[in-house]
Amino acid sequence: MAKIIEDVSRTFSEYLLLPRLTGKGHLSRNVSMQTPVARYNAGEQPRLTLNLPFVAASMQAVSGVEMSIALARMGCAAFIYCSQSIDQQAAMIRKVKAHKAGFVESDSNLKPDDTLADAVAISRQTGHSTMPVTHDGSNKGKLLGILTDKDFWEFEDDLSAPIAEFMTPRAQVVHGSVGLSLHEANLLLRKHKKECLPILDGEGYLHSLVFKKDYVDHRKNPNEILDSRKRLITAAGINTHDFQDRVPSLVDAGADIFAFDSSDGYSEFQKDAALWIREKYGDRVVLGGGNVVSGEGFRYLVESAGLDFVKVGIGGGSICITREQKGIGRGQASALMDVVAERNRYFEKTGWYVPVCSDGGLASDTQIILALAMGADFVMMGRYFAMTDESPTPRVSISGRMYKPYWGEGSNRARNWQRYSSGDEANLKFEEGIDGYVPITGSVKDTLWLTAEKLKSTMCNSGAPTLAEFRDNAVLTRISQQSFVEGGTSNVVRLDTESSIVD
> Is position 196 annotated as part of the catalytic site?
no
Instruction: Return the residues of window 373-412 that contact ligand MZP according to CB under 6 A.
Output: 380-384, 408-411
Nearest to 419 by CA among 263, 313, 269, 292: 263
Q: Is 312 helix (H, G, I), strand (E, B) or coil?
A: strand
Residue 100 phi, psi (nearest 5): -155, 135
Q: At what angle do helices 243-253 and 86-99 cross, to 10 degrees?
A: 20
361 touches ligand MZP by CB under 6 A: yes
Amino acid at 179: G
Q: How far apart are the C-alpha atoms of 257 and 80, rounded to whole Å?
A: 10
Q: Least distance (Å) from ligand MZP to the CB of residue 364?
A: 11
> Is position 419 annotated as part of the catalytic site?
yes
CA angle 166, 167, 171 (to 5 degrees): 130
- What's the DSSP call for residue 141? S
Q: Least distance (Å) from ligand MZP to the CB of residue 79?
A: 8
User: Closest residue (Cβ) to ligand MZP?
Assistant: 433
Q: How far apart are the C-alpha atoms of 212 and 69, rounded to whole Å?
A: 18
359 touches ligand MZP by CB under 6 A: yes
76 touches ligand MZP by CB under 6 A: no
Among 318, 332, 358, 418, binds ligand MZP (CB under 6 A): 318
Contact by Cβ (8 Å): 25, 463: no
For residue 204, the tally of other CB atoms under 10 A from its CB is 14
Q: Least distance (Å) from ligand MZP to the CB of residue 45?
A: 28
433 touches ligand MZP by CB under 6 A: yes
102 touches ligand MZP by CB under 6 A: no
Nearer to ligand MZP, 175 or 404 (CB): 404
Among 50, 57, 131, 339, binds ligand MZP (CB under 6 A): 57
264 touches ligand MZP by CB under 6 A: no
310 touches ligand MZP by CB under 6 A: no
Q: Least distance (Å) from ligand MZP to the CB of residue 50?
A: 16
190-198, 224-232, 298-306, 354-362 -> range binding ligand MZP (CB under 6 A): 354-362
Q: Least distance (Å) from ligand MZP to the CB of residue 221?
A: 25
Beta strands 168-169 and 143-148: pairing type? antiparallel
Q: How far apart are the C-alpha atoms of 284 and 274, rounded to whole Å?
A: 13
**Class of residue 129 by CB neighbours under 10 A (exposed 0-12, middle 13-18, buried 19+):** middle
317 touches ligand MZP by CB under 6 A: yes
289 touches ligand MZP by CB under 6 A: no
Question: How big is the chain by its Cα radius of gyration, in Å?
Answer: 26
Catalytic residue of the set 320, 343, 357, 383 = 320
Beta strands 378-381 and 352-353: pairing type? unpaired
306 touches ligand MZP by CB under 6 A: no
Nearer to ligand MZP, 255 or 380 (CB): 380
Beta strands 378-381 and 396-398: pairing type? unpaired
Q: Least distance (Å) from ligand MZP to the CB of residue 325?
A: 9
Residue 272 phi, psi (nearest 5): -60, -40
Name the E strands within 68-217: 77-80, 130-134, 143-148, 168-169, 176-177, 196-200, 206-211
Nearer to ligand MZP, 232 or 368 (CB): 368
Nearer to ligand MZP, 174 or 363 (CB): 363
Q: Least distance (Å) from ligand MZP to the CB of residue 37?
A: 15
User: Which residues are part of the catalytic machinery?
Assistant: 320, 419
Which residues contact ligand MZP by CB under 6 A?
A: 57, 59, 313, 317-320, 322, 359-362, 380-384, 408-411, 432-433
